[in-house]
Amino acid sequence: MRREILIVAGILAGGLCLTTNHCLSADSTGGKKPITAGFSQIGAESAWRTAETESIRSEAARRGVNLKFSDAQQKQENQIKALGAFIAQRVDAIILAPKVEDGWGPILKQAKAARIPVVLVDRGVNVSDESLYTTLIASDFVAEGRMAGQWLAKKLDGKGSIVELQGTTGAAPAIDRKKGFEEALRNYPDMKITKSQSGDFNRAGGKQVMEAFLKASQGSDTKIDAVYAHNDDMALGAVQAIEEAGLKPGSDIVVVSIDGVKGAFEAMVAGKLNCSVECNPLLGPAAFDAVEAVLAGKPVPKKTIVKDRLFDQSIAKDSIATRQY
Ligand code: AHR
């Protein structure tokens, strides 16, 4: 049976350590040597992603883990190659932030055959055999989308036309944040998503798609009341597009997004973004807790859900100073 635990953001940020400074694994002679872990990261598409990379790198350094880092430059095939290289190098454990959900079965089978545990961080995978990975540490993306939708319904009094900037096609947060948001809107028949397109989780993509949405709305009967962006970087790109179109983001068009990065807080304080649902990227401590535990033969939960909060303009100013990313 699946065991799930909840970790509050504060515990994650502070580091829920099972052991102290040095992570060790047993060598073939029974002696102890520092752990070597491979980390395959998607890329650097957003401020969130950079914060996650930094959290994993700094936690590895803090614990004396020898970390092999690979930046896939947004390509799943590069991630698969990186995992192949980690397996060939016989690392003790692999940490994987998978770009998309599908297509991981064969490489994860190779890792399992080599007895290398795989810790998934941030995004999940679609595999028929869940024993192919050890654990997943991630936010509940459906809940994030739902929170954004409920907040927006309240803000718009249950009536309005919404454009949606989706994340990377096939990625767990894009699929689930859409699902959660639509779920929330089901209770509000007068709230409609009139356009929806991927901006690939980056600022340039969000700006470009929003420009196209604004252009299409000119001269049409459907005015855009709100933008729902699957992450802050796309929302900040949309804010720029709205301003360049001569409109006021945050008042002419309501902007709601997900991540809770510093840039979003600054935009909320400036009145240009209305709400951001937090998605905590500080996954390093929990990831290495899992690595250490599994290498020590201790049980680890199949899934750890990171708990997130919602921030809107009413609390942004008071919270900005304490934001860690
Ligand atoms: O998987 C988490 C998402 O990926 C974050 O919301 C986004 O900013 C990132 O690129």
Query: Read out DSSP for 124-181?
Result: ----S-GGGSSEEEEE-HHHHHHHHHHHHHHHTTT-EEEEEEE-STT-HHHHHHHHHH
Residue 99 beta carbon below 6 angstroms from any ligand 1 atom: no
- 3-class secondary structure, 115: coil
Distance from the alpha carbon of residue 48 to the mean position of ligand 1, in angstroms: 6
pLDDT surpassing 80 at residue 81: yes
Pocket test for ligand 1, best of 136, 144, 201 (most atoms within 8 A of CB): 201
pLDDT surpassing 70 at residue 161: yes
Q: Which residue's CA is minimally distant from atom 3 of ligand 1?
A: 173
Pocket test for ligand 1, best of 48, 278, 325 (most atoms within 8 A of CB): 48
Distance from the alpha carbon of residue 281 to the mean position of ligand 1, in angstroms: 8
- Residues contacting residue 233 through CB under 8 Å, at least 6 positions apart: 45, 46, 47, 48, 201, 202, 203, 206, 259, 261, 263
* Closest to 81 in 3D by CA, of 70, 91, 92: 70
What is the per-residue pLDDT across 144-158, written as a single tens digit (0 to 9) for each? 999 999 999 999 999
Which amino acid makes up residue 62? R
Q: How confident is the model at residue 28 (pLDDT cuts 50, 70, 90)?
A: low
- pLDDT mean over 237-260: 98
pLDDT of 208 reads 98
Lowest mean pLDDT of 26-40, 94-108, 213-227, name the range: 26-40
- Residues contacting residue 239 through CB under 8 Å, at least 6 positions apart: 249, 250, 255, 267, 272, 273
Residue 195 beta carbon below 6 angstroms from any ligand 1 atom: no
Distance from the alpha carbon of residue 173 to the mean position of ligand 1, in angstroms: 7
Distance from the alpha carbon of residue 230 to the mean position of ligand 1, in angstroms: 8
Q: Which residue's CA is minimally distant from atom 4 of ligand 1?
A: 49
- Residues contacting residue 82 through CB under 8 Å, at least 6 positions apart: 38, 40, 70, 72
What is the per-residue pLDDT across 269-316, written as a single tens digit (0 to 9) for each? 999 999 999 999 999 999 999 999 999 999 999 999 999 999 999 999
Distance from the alpha carbon of residue 218 to the mean position of ligand 1, in angstroms: 31
Residue 46 beta carbon below 6 angstroms from any ligand 1 atom: yes
Distance from the alpha carbon of residue 82 to the mean position of ligand 1, in angstroms: 20
Residue 201 beta carbon below 6 angstroms from any ligand 1 atom: yes
- pLDDT mean over 236-242: 98
Q: How confident is the model at residue 165 (pLDDT cuts 50, 70, 90)?
A: very high
Q: What percent of the chain has pLDDT over 70?
A: 91
- 3-class secondary structure, 305: strand
Burial class (CB in 10 A: 0-12, 13-18, 19+), 85: middle
pTM of the model: 0.92
Inter-CA distances, 37 with 14, 85, 122, 214, 261, Å: 21, 12, 17, 46, 27
Which amino acid makes up residue 221? D
pLDDT surpassing 90 at residue 61: yes
The C-alpha atoms of residue 118 and residue 108 are separated, in whole angstroms, by: 8
Q: Which residue's CA is minimally distant from atom 6 of ligand 1?
A: 231
pLDDT of 27 reads 64
Cβ(40)–Cβ(95) under 8 Å?
Answer: yes
The C-alpha atoms of residue 189 and residue 203 are separated, in whole angstroms, by: 31
